[in-house]
Amino acid sequence: MVRFKYRYCKVHMARYLSGDLADPARRRVARYIDENEDCYREYMRHREFAQKLERSLPAFGRPNSQRLEMMWSTLQAELQAPQSQTLWFSDFGSRSSLQFSYGLAILAIVIALMLPLALGYHASPLSIDFPRAPHYAVVVRPPAQDVSGAPLFATGKPGARVQTPILQSTPAPRF
Amino acid sequence: MTDKRLAMREEIDAIVNRALKGDQTGYAELYDRFAASLYRLCYSLLLNEQDAEDILQESFLYAFKNLQRFDSRKASLKTWLYTIAISRCRNTYRRKRFITVDITQWLGLELKAPPAEAPEAAAIRRDASESIANALQDLSPRLREAIVLRYGQGMTYREISEVMGCPQKTAESRVRLGHERLRQALQPVGLGLLEELLRVH
């Protein structure tokens, strides 16, 4: 039970000290602090350190006013610069430089992969020589003619002849 | 929200409206109000003066150019600006990975001792600042953000969660963990050094 109280206090101490804890939990932590020595020690330790941090961290990295004024001048100049120019510099030099680098890398990879295709399939060292299927040519003969010279078509009538295309196997061209 | 906070928010909204209507003094006023705290935030996270300045300028540039996108019903201007700055700081972490701290540079510029100060006092202060910077640097970026927002900027857990883009519970546990780690890191050198930092400014 003592360990549970201590753990409970430890978990909720930061919010207890900052006043962000809900009423029931706050009362519970307060009771444990009163009842348990370890909880009290934890409370004191936490409070002392939190107070020191709250006082000293705002002083960490405080800029001087001259520096801020200089930055304001630069900022004003950038704000007044033409839109396109400003966007280019701000985007290039800052947040999207990483994206730009990645984009450039991807573009380089794509170009490297596309280059053999652009130079010619057979010159490519990466090309795979698949076995070629035989080429088929479709030869259509002129329609047959009857005795009078009129062409014969498939009309579905008895006696009519149907001309079908003839498939001829031809060897594949050799390069 | 307390009356004081509400009044301040209304005041800032009025300045934003002025700026949006093209009043240049509106921009200047917004800069004056937030630049110092935003710089401190960036500096505490990046521990590098030049990077902090760059991020500050980029954040303001972005914010001013996109001021019409700011919606005061969703968040305060402070939270919005901090969100912009934090996201840029995160980009910088990713770009750099290993943050290098030029201790001599920032000690010389930021923690300059008064001219009449004894050399021993200056040395103690230097040690204090160095220890705090090291302790902050040892924290993971997320824990550092939580600690800096909570103790350095005095934000509530709700505001921290908005700025960090995480649930409030996560923000609370990050503050707790960061607090614990920072205390462990500073324990060997003594917590009194935090007081030394206060004397510098």
- Going from the C-alpha of B145 to that of each of B81, B163, B179, the distances in angstroms are 15, 10, 11
- Going from the C-alpha of B173 to that of each of A145, B26, B117, B181, the distances in angstroms are 94, 38, 41, 12
Return the pLDDT at B109.
Answer: 44
CA B198 to chain centre: 17
With residue B126 as reference, give the H or E element that holds it: helix B119-138
pLDDT band, residue A109 (cuts 50/70/90): very high
Query: Cα separation of A151 and A21, whole Å?
Result: 100
pLDDT band, residue B117 (cuts 50/70/90): low
pLDDT single digits (tens) A8-39: 888 888 788 877 788 899 999 999 999 889 89
Reduced to 3 states (helix: H, G, I; strand: E, B; else coil), residue A139 is: strand
- Which residues on B lie below 8 Å from A94 (Cβ)? 54, 58, 88, 91
CA A173 to chain centre: 46
The DSSP 8-state label assigned to residue A58 in this structure reads G
Residue B12: how many CA atoms within 13 Å on its side-chain side? 23
- B170-183 b/e with 16+ CB inside 10 Å = b? bbbbbbbbbbbbbb
Instruction: Please indicate whether, in this complex, the C-beta atoms of A95 and B87 are within 8 angstroms of each other.
Output: yes
Reduced to 3 states (helix: H, G, I; strand: E, B; else coil), residue B154 is: coil
DSSP β-ladder status, A135-139 and A166-170: antiparallel
- A94 to chain B: nearest residue by CA? B58
Return the pLDDT at A129.
Answer: 63
pLDDT single digits (tens) A35-90: 889 899 888 888 888 888 888 888 777 888 888 898 999 888 888 876 554 444 44
pLDDT band, residue B36 (cuts 50/70/90): very high
Reduced to 3 states (helix: H, G, I; strand: E, B; else coil), residue A136 is: strand
Return the pLDDT at B80.
Answer: 94
Q: Please report the ipTM that was assigned to this predicted complex.
A: 0.72
Task: Name the H helices within chain A.
Answer: 2-18, 23-35, 37-56, 65-80, 83-93, 97-119
pTM score:
0.64
Give the highest mean pLDDT range of A117-126, B55-64, B108-117.
B55-64
| Chain B contact probe: residue of A48, A53, A66, A91 with most B CBs at under 10 A | A53
Instruction: Read off the pLDDT of each residue in A157-164 and give the average, rounded to a whole number.
Output: 56
Would you say B96 and A98 are in contact if contact means Cβ atoms under 8 Å apart?
no
Would you say B162 and B75 are in contact if contact means Cβ atoms under 8 Å apart?
yes
Q: Does A13 touch chain B (CB under 8 A)?
A: yes
Which of B110, B152, B172 lies closest to A58 in CB terms? B152
Q: Tell me how close the Cα of B159 comes to any Cα of chain A, in angstroms.
A: 12
Return the pLDDT at A80.
Answer: 81
Query: Cα separation of B136 and B126, whole Å?
Result: 15
The DSSP 8-state label assigned to residue B149 in this structure reads I
Scan for tokens 């960061």, then name that residue.
B178
pLDDT single digits (tens) B16-32: 999 988 888 999 999 99
| The pair of three-digit structure tokens given for residue A43, joined into one six-digit string | 């409370």
| Chain A contact probe: residue of B33, B53, B61, B158 with most A CBs at under 10 A | B61
Q: Tell me how close the Cα of B13 comes to any Cα of chain A, in angstroms.
A: 21
pLDDT single digits (tens) A88-104: 444 444 555 677 888 89
Average confidence score pLDDT of chain A = 74
Reduced to 3 states (helix: H, G, I; strand: E, B; else coil), residue A67 is: helix
Q: Which residue has the higher pLDDT, B187 or B181?
A: B181
Q: Which residue has the higher pLDDT, A60 or B194?
A: A60
Instruction: Read off the pLDDT of each residue in B179-193 and give the average, rounded to a whole number.
Output: 77
pLDDT band, residue B196 (cuts 50/70/90): low
Average confidence score pLDDT of chain B = 82
Would you say A26 and A16 are in contact if contact means Cβ atoms under 8 Å apart?
yes
Instruction: Read off the pLDDT of each residue in B61-72 and give the average, rounded to a whole number.
Output: 90
Measured in degrees and rounded to the nearest 5, phi and psi for residue A143 equal -60, 145
Would you say A45 and A58 are in contact if contact means Cβ atoms under 8 Å apart?
no
Instruction: Read off the pLDDT of each residue in B111-124 and give the average, rounded to a whole number.
Output: 59
Return the pLDDT at B188.
Answer: 73
With residue A166 as reference, give the H or E element that holds it: strand A166-170
Return the pLDDT at A45.
Answer: 86
Would you say B167 and B157 are in contact if contact means Cβ atoms under 8 Å apart?
no
Give the highest mean pLDDT range of A76-85, A164-173, B62-71, B180-189.
B62-71
Return the pLDDT at A15.
Answer: 80
Return the pLDDT at B42.
Answer: 93
Q: Tell me how close the Cα of A54 comes to any Cα of chain B, in angstroms.
A: 5
pLDDT band, residue B108 (cuts 50/70/90): very low
Query: Cα separation of B154 and B30, whole Å?
Result: 19
Burial class (CB in 10 A: 0-12, 13-18, 19+), A63: buried
CA B199 to chain centre: 20
Would you say A12 and A21 are in contact if contact means Cβ atoms under 8 Å apart?
yes
